[in-house]
Amino acid sequence: MTAEDICYASVLELSELLTARSLSSRELVTCFLERIERFNRLSRAFIEVTGEAAMTAAERADDARARKGHSGQEYPLLGIPFSSKDLIDIAGVPTTGGSRAFADRIASRNAFLIDRMLAAGSISLGKNNLHAFAYGATGENKVYGTAVNAYDHSRLAGGSSSGSAAAVAFGLAPAAFGTDTGGSVRAPAALSGIVGLKATMGRISSRGVMPYCWSLDHVGILARSVADAGLLLGAVAGFDPEDPNSARLPVEDYRPDPAFDLAGLRVGLPRNFYFEKCDPEILRATHHLVGLLEEAGASLIEVEMPAMEDARTISLTVQMPEALSYHSRYLEEKAELYEDDFRAGLALGQCLLAEHYLRAKRFITRYRRDTDALFDDIDVIVTPAAPIVAPPLGQAFIDWGDEQEPLGNAITRYTSFFNMTGHPAIVIPSGLHSSGLPMGIQLVGRYFGEKALLSTAASLEARAGELLPRPLLACSPRIS
């Protein structure tokens, strides 16, 4: 097995190697740190690498296994590395938000999800790059560089969790955490050829995560497989009394049920909005995977989604005042350090009236009610994950015949609505476009129905088989 094979292995595969003593945590972390050293300048995936702390944690994990004889079943994440978007606090490490404005901000305490991962024995490799303050779907960052796509380095990884997606796609981490306010985990997952999960609002605590928009922010997971996403969700889910959005519900084992039967599954296919203005190859790939569900016994049911004409405006009408409410305290002292696009967005927030904000919140309540009602007749909604493949660096618009669409709007067009409704949603690869770039499909489930959603996605993942080749990067040396 080469070092590259190890760096592209799934979390569950790595856990099996550690349990079998075929690999030590120290060797595993060394492998990733060397790969980060080799490819981070290209990928721009990491802002901060905590190598020394990671090696110390790896030695502790190896000692724990040797001393207590931990099995993989008891502690499947013991000694497994991960990384996290630089909005997520790790004590003693900067949380910059991807901006010069917070370059000197050192976290005094771990975020809830970091405490959960460390308690499980996992090892932080560092902090991932992002679109500054999560304000944008392209991932462009003038301060730390823009994270690029592992399949074509002249194209975007997608954002705003750009570095988290690039870290997994480039083999710099087996899994990573991001945030998702309008698709900022799921969209870069689709563009980068990996799995992206946004759980139900309140399933993963946001305590210790720098907010962008409290009403829409979700913590999300980027991984190589659906099973990995389920394993990580089980580690970080749970009630947090310090997070007002946190749900007081039991935590399940979210790893997909291997006996899950697709026969009888009711698949909702939106007849409006979600299959419009989309690359034809992405549509074909989506319909192919939907066909696999039908072949396995699922029934296909057309559904009418709520009217989407004003959905983006409604989302932004909530986003900008909430972003302003957090950043206003810093703008007086650091306005010149903020990025121009974000300052412009905050200025928009100042112009919106309380009436506009409250009206938008009422629309969101209606969206949640009407969308949830669809699940009386279906079990899952399926859509393309994004209407385009990864665009070139610097591109600003997408042309749809005579119509132009801002790039960020296009990237998140199929994902942002489910941040307003708060439903769990997962993106998995749907194939390789003729351009050589990944495509993705999105599955949306019932509130707190992550187990069934992940089991459905894993069953589809297995039926689809290996849809994407490994990105073509320089070969790694064989390790002993």
From the list 15, 85, 161, 246, the catalytic residue is: 85
Instruction: Using the predicted structure, report yes or no on whether residue 67 has a pLDDT greater than 90.
Output: no
**pLDDT tens profile 117-173:** 999 999 999 999 999 999 999 999 999 999 999 999 999 999 999 999 999 999 999
In sequence order, the 6+-apart residues with CB closer than 8 A to the CB of 255 are 227, 230, 231, 234, 454
Beta strand ranges found along 211-310 (DSSP E): 218-223, 266-270, 299-303
**pLDDT tens profile 368-426:** 999 999 999 999 999 999 999 999 999 999 999 999 999 999 999 999 999 999 999 99
Element (H, E) at 165: helix 162-169
What is the model's pLDDT at position 40? Answer: 98
In sequence order, the 6+-apart residues with CB closer than 8 A to the CB of 11 are 76, 77, 80, 174, 175, 223, 224, 225, 228, 231, 232
Instruction: Using the predicted structure, report yes or no on whether residue 286 has a pLDDT greater than 50.
Output: yes
From the list 25, 161, 184, 455, the catalytic residue is: 184
User: Within 10 A of 17 (CB to CB), how many other CB atoms are there?
Assistant: 19
What is the model's pLDDT at position 474? Answer: 52
The rounded percent of the chain whose pLDDT value lies above 90 is: 95
What pTM does this model have?
0.97
From the list 15, 122, 160, 215, the catalytic residue is: 160
Bridge-based pairing of strands 218-223 and 195-198 is: antiparallel
Mean pLDDT of 233-262: 97
Average pLDDT, the chain: 96
What is the model's pLDDT at position 480? Answer: 37
- Sign of torsion, CA 277 132 332 92? positive
The C-alpha atoms of residue 284 and residue 289 are separated, in whole angstroms, by: 9
CB 294 within 8 A of CB 329: no
241 vs 479 pLDDT, higher one = 241
CB 82 within 8 A of CB 57: no
CATH homologous superfamily, domain 3-307+367-464: Amidase signature (AS) domain (3.90.1300.10)
CB 389 within 8 A of CB 282: yes
Main-chain dihedrals φ then ψ at residue 221, nearest 5 degrees: -125, 135
The C-alpha atoms of residue 74 and residue 92 are separated, in whole angstroms, by: 29
The C-alpha atoms of residue 260 and residue 313 are separated, in whole angstroms, by: 39
Instruction: Using the predicted structure, report yes or no on whether residue 475 has a pLDDT greater than 70.
Output: no
Mean pLDDT of 38-61: 98
**pLDDT tens profile 190-240:** 999 999 999 999 999 999 999 999 999 999 999 999 999 999 999 999 999
The C-alpha atoms of residue 184 and residue 195 are separated, in whole angstroms, by: 13
Tell me whether residue 184 is one of the annotated catalytic residues: yes
The rounded percent of the chain whose pLDDT value lies above 70 is: 98
**pLDDT tens profile 413-460:** 999 999 999 999 999 999 999 999 999 999 999 999 999 999 999 999
CB 455 within 8 A of CB 426: no
CB 27 within 8 A of CB 479: yes
Alpha-carbon 427 to chain mean position:
9
CB 22 within 8 A of CB 79: no
Beta bridge partners of 127: 48, 84
The C-alpha atoms of residue 115 and residue 100 are separated, in whole angstroms, by: 26
